[in-house]
């Protein structure tokens, strides 16, 4: 039996959530038109006093989970014609990326060659997946101490992971290497860690995280994303534009220093203190969802940026005073972020690492992430937290 591709979605405004279903409007798989239907509306507050009704919260949670389960079930079906066509297009795209990178690297600055996307601002060339030559702990420590970024003797590297969770990306070194492979498993790749972490403190005793990228292009991408955020905030402040959802400060990780050490990009960030109380009730989970959704709305509408890798590990709960108090969440790791409006200069280091399998939207391995991709990932994240909570 042929199952036509479709999509599901939701729209929240205030304390009211609308649930939608999209079905294919054309039987031909080459025509991707859809008809959208609203099939459910849930008002979280029965009295419009701002207090969320527990029963309606549970009903909305079930509706979200049903949407995610529906998509996951449909993804298990093998659309042979669609998958073959998309895999071939992806291989061609990756092959072109690899050829372009090789051609750019072969052009020296003296020959008029343009700097490779992902290279540092100093004018030298770098390979797409090349590891930095000097990202050792002593070199980074000395650089940060001499710049008075960290206190002398406070730098302590953390144990590194062997592999990151499986990620989806068209820009990683492993994906480029497999661009012309006949193995259909190239959709999912175990991702070699592009960075390592360290603890430190500044002169005032503030706890810091230091993130050092051995794979330079990914580090330059993440630094570029933070620069775009700063630029957008500064522009809106200069123009005295009132932000629709308030200030972003305190909602995303705070970067206190960014630069390079021996060709390795380095990010120094404020270490957020996790709340002692874990998310343990439906009301707390609803407040977490509301806080993260508000931050994503700020990123999407005000900053014009998609995060690209929303998952439990990238959400730091800093405040959780129980059901009667607000839940505050800080979003971290902008290595998979991408501008919504692709108007960056050609030399911008655009090499996102890609979302994590199980949380990223199904279309993320075929195109750049969109605001809808973050909404999907938030839904998958809430589902994962609910499942983890039900086991205890």
pLDDT tens sequence for the chain (392 residues): 344 446 778 888 778 898 887 776 555 555 555 577 788 899 888 777 778 888 888 888 888 888 877 777 666 655 455 455 555 555 565 555 545 544 544 444 343 333 333 333 333 333 333 333 445 889 999 999 999 999 999 999 988 654 455 555 444 433 333 333 444 444 455 556 678 999 999 999 999 999 999 888 899 999 999 999 999 888 888 877 776 667 888 999 999 999 999 889 999 999 998 998 888 888 899 999 999 999 999 999 889 999 999 999 999 999 988 888 889 999 999 999 989 876 555 556 677 877 888 898 887 766 678 899 999 999 999 999 988 877 65
Start-end ranges of CATH 1.10.510 in the chain? 81-390
Residue whose structure tokens are 């995060």:
307
Cβ–Cβ < 8 Å for 18, 11: yes
pTM of this prediction? 0.63
Distance from C-alpha of 230 to C-alpha of 224, rounded to nearest angstrom: 10
pLDDT at 322: 83
Q: Report yes or no: 293 and 315 within 8 Å, Cβ to Cβ.
A: no
Q: Which of these CATH numbers, 1.20.950, 3.40.1130, 1.10.510, 2.60.120, describes 81-390?
A: 1.10.510
**Per-residue model confidence (pLDDT) at position 331:** 97
353 to each of 69, 93, 164, 180, 299, how far by Cα in Å?
Answer: 26, 16, 11, 20, 19
The token pair at 372 is 């809808």
């Amino acid at each position: 039996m042929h199952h036509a591709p479709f999509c599901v979605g939701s729209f929240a405004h205030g304390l009211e959530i609308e649930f939608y279903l999209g079905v294919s409007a054309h039987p031909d798989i080459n025509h991707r038109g859809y008809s959208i239907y609203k099939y459910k509306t849930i008002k979280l507050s029965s009295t419009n006093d701002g207090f969320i009704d527990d029963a309606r919260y549970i009903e909305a949670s079930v509706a979200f989970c049903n949407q995610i389960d529906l998509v996951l079930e449909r993804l298990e079906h093998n659309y042979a014609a669609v998958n073959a066509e998309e895999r071939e297009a992806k291989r061609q795209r990756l092959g072109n990326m690899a050829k372009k990178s090789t051609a750019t690297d072969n052009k020296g600055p003296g020959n008029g060659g343009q700097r490779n996307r992902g290279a540092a601002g100093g004018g030298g060339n770098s390979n797409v997946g090349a590891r930095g030559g000097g990202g050792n702990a002593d070199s980074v420590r000395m650089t940060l101490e001499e710049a008075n970024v960290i206190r002398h003797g406070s730098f302590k590297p953390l144990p590194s992971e062997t592999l990151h969770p499986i990620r989806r990306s068209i820009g990683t070194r492993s994906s480029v290497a497999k661009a012309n492979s006949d193995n259909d498993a190239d959709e999912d790749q175990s991702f070699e860690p592009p960075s390592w972490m360290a603890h430190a403190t500044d002169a005032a005793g503030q706890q810091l995280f230091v993130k050092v990228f051995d794979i330079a292009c990914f580090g330059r991408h993440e630094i570029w994303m933070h620069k775009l955020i700063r630029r957008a905030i500064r522009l809106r402040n200069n123009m005295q534009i009132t932000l629709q959802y308030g200030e972003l400060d305190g909602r995303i990780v705070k970067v206190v220093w960014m630069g390079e050490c021996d060709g390795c990009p380095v990010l120094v960030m404020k270490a957020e203190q996790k709340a002692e109380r874990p998310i343990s009730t439906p009301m707390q989970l609803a407040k977490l969802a509301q806080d993260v959704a508000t931050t994503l709305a700020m990123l999407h509408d005000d900053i014009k940026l998609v995060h690209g890798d929303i998952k439990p590990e990238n959400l730091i709960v800093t405040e959780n005073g129980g059901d009667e108090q607000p839940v505050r969440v800080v979003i971290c790791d902008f290595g998979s972020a991408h501008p919504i409006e692709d108007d960056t200069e050609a030399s911008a280091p655009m090499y996102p690492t890609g979302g994590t399998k199980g949380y990223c939207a199904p279309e993320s391995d075929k195109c750049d992430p969109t605001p809808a991709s973050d909404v999907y990932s938030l839904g998958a994240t809430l589902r994962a937290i609910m499942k983890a909570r039900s086991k205890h």
